[in-house]
C-alpha cells in the first residue's frame, strides 16, 4: 500500500468510525475539527481512492465512501514500520523511553502486563 499522509489519515479515521459516508458527510465531519475547504477534502478522498485505501459506490447523484483497509491492520503495519525505523525493530526501547519519562499510566502498565502474560501462556505452554 502506498504511504498515507496525516491529512489522508484524518479522512480514513472518519470513515473507520462510520461508513459508508457521502463526501458531504465527510466534509461536515472534518470541517468541525479542521480548517479545510470542501475541495481539499474531496481531493483527499480522491487520493485515497487512487491508493486503494477507500472505495466508493454511486448512490443516486452522490458517492458513498468506505474504507478498503482495516484500521487494526493499518495500525499494525505503521507501528512495525515506525519501530523498525527508529528502534531497529525492538519494542522494549520504545516502552522504556515512555517509562523513563513517566508517560505510562497505570492502565498502560496493566495492559502491557496482561499482553505479556497472555503471550507467555500462548508461547510457553
Taking the domains of the chain in order of start, what are their residue ranges?
Answer: 1-90, 91-125
pTM score, two decimals? Answer: 0.74
Phi-psi region of 18 (alpha: psi -120 to 50; beta: other; left: phi over 0): beta
**Distant-in-sequence, close-in-space partners of 33: CB < 8 Å, separation ≥ 6:** 10
Residue 94 — pLDDT band, cuts 50, 70, 90? Answer: confident
Three-state DSSP at 59 gives strand
Q: Is the pLDDT of residue 1 over 80?
A: no
| Pair 65, 55: CB distance under 8 Å | yes
Three-state DSSP at 70 gives coil
Of 1.10.10.10, 3.40.50.720, 1.10.150.110, 2.102.10.10, which CATH number belongs to 1-90?
1.10.10.10
Residue 17 — pLDDT band, cuts 50, 70, 90? Answer: very high
Q: Cell 514500520 belongs to which residue?
A: 81
Residues 67-72 have a mean pLDDT of: 95
Amino acid at each position: 500500500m502506498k504511504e498515507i499522509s496525516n491529512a489522508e489519515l484524518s479522512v480514513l479515521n472518519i470513515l473507520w468510525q462510520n461508513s459508508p459516508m457521502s463526501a458531504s458527510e465527510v466534509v461536515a465531519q472534518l470541517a468541525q475539527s479542521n480548517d479545510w475547504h470542501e475541495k481539499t477534502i474531496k481531493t483527499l478522498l480522491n487520493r485515497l481512492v487512487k491508493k486503494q485505501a477507500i472505495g466508493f459506490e454511486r448512490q443516486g447523484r452522490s458517492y458513498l465512501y468506505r474504507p478498503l483497509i482495516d484500521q487494526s491492520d493499518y495500525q499494525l503495519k505503521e507501528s512495525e514500520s515506525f519501530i523498525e525505523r527508529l528502534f531497529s525493530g525492538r519494542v522494549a526501547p520504545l516502552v522504556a523511553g515512555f517509562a523513563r519519562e513517566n508517560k505510562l499510566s497505570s492502565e498502560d502498565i496493566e495492559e502491557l502486563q496482561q499482553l505479556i502474560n497472555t503471550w507467555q501462556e500462548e508461547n510457553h505452554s
